[in-house]
Structure 1
């Protein structure tokens, strides 16, 4: 009995670890914005992850080559929305907004997923999803407007927040496409193939814009991005889903805005203001309502890359 209880508590620690890794990555993204271009860190990140996985994945990928060839377009779309566009826009947003705002906006993924599900899956949301979505969107507007709705007219002052909202919107497409296609292949092979496509998407931008060199000011951030949020966190998250179930695991995603804000407060000295508190609480309440008894929530193992 004690052994089972101990095991359960250990399992509940898994999604917390994953959320902390992703939250720290948002802060790292903001921190490194002053030291490396968005295209450079994005390319280096996926290149490092690709190189680490290659020795372990070449044989499994070769065995599944027929399936991969048949579904290459789906893998390409998943990579474009979930890796290239989502993370690329997030790296760009980091130049214009705070890590705290990025964490709060990132929590909006489940609500955006409901909207995208309506467009692609033709799923009609129930009243909880509608009420929760409206409430969360109101909180998001409040945060972006820094507590003053009139300031939203100054779009230039919110460019980073707009980019982050767009990034989250693309990630919602990623989740819905995963649900729509449900590719019958191991998650690790799927991850590896998507990373390969992400590298291909970067090549034209690398040729045109070039790459910033890796140096002492950015090497740690590049290494962290390529290893922890790209490889370790997804594995830990999937293990949590196996141990405690998808529904209970997904609840821990709501900790991300709080964890991001705390890390940013101590590391980047970002201020946590009253509009962050009010807007963040409204967003989280809306998300909780939107996920109640709805079949259109994001897949519970869905995670930000």
Structure 2
């Protein structure tokens, strides 16, 4: 994938070689983990819709200088597809954003990150059902393992909860967000002419802001406003910068340096960073069901999504 609109230091320069590639891989996975950790830290201070609204507005403004040429070049295509972008805003920034923050008011960042880690397996299953993509037995096994891990997390390792259907509402809200993200990703795959990465990011972020704006106004009047203090502003900027903009740029650069298959495994490492950060910063205890979830979710997602090795004689075809 070409990155014509990224800042030049992310396209060329000293970021080269395996050490730099794996360093960026580790940094990128940690950036992805910052969203549930910060979201949980401010869950009872910043209202969820307000956090999602300001996160995506600030992210849009950060990338706008780089995205503006592409937005102008592709303005006809963007206007023609405005309904589609609003739907993407509902799924990607509304349900996968605000609803997940509602969930983080009621569950731990560790739970949320582990549940969200199953998104690649969900995408694979949805693509098989929705788009008719071929699916191998290994991938079916991986999906089943990942879903078993989610079940362990939802039940807190107590299968009696299945009989009583007694699940934590926060976990279910995060699961709703993960499903919505999976649908969002499938819809992105179905786009006609793909836009440059930063252009598409800016268009999706702006659509999310438009979708969230009326709900944010309602929340401000009917529930509670965002308390704009130094700590809350820094928290919102951190989510916008680290979990949105820098996570995207690091991920795209890692794809360019390592290939899509290996770079995508950053999604599997991210929950480990989230669990560590939650333990250190939020004093969230690591429990037995978390370890059981890790033991099922991460291998399951890897089985489901890692590409099979190509024969030695076949040239590599991973797109950068």
Alignment of 1:147-226 (within 5 A): 147-152=157-162, 157-181=167-191, 183-210=193-220, 211-226=225-240
| Aligned CA-pair RMSD | 2.2
Q: Does 1:63 align with 2:73?
A: yes
| Structure 2 length-normalised TM | 0.85
Kindly state the Cα deviation for residue 57 of structure 1 after the two structures are TM-superposed: 3.0
Segments ≥4 residues shifted beyond 6 Å: none
Alignment of 1:6-17 (within 5 A): 7-17=17-27
Change (3 A) 1:222 1:20: same
Q: Does 1:279 align with 2:306?
A: no
Change (3 A) 1:89 1:155: farther
Q: What's 1:53 paired with?
A: 63
Q: What's 2:44 paired with?
A: 34
Assess if the C-alpha contact under 8 Å between 2:154 and 2:167 holds in 1: no
Q: What's 1:234 paired with?
A: 248
Distance 1:50 1:224 in 2: 14
Distance 1:177 1:284 in 2: 25
Distance 1:269 1:51 in 2: 33
Flag structure 2 segments of 5+ consecutive residues without an equivalent. 1-13, 309-317
Q: What's 2:313 paired with?
A: none
What is the SS of the residue equivalent to 1:218?
helix
Distance 1:72 1:92 in 2: 27
Assess if the C-alpha contact under 8 Å between 2:68 and 2:199 holds in 1: no
| Structure 1 length-normalised TM | 0.89
Task: Name which of structure 1's ranges 211-220 and 26-35 shifts more when overlaid on structure 2.
Answer: 211-220
Assess if the C-alpha contact under 8 Å between 2:63 and 2:198 holds in 1: no
| Number of equivalenced pairs | 293
Assess if the C-alpha contact under 8 Å between 2:89 and 2:209 holds in 1: no
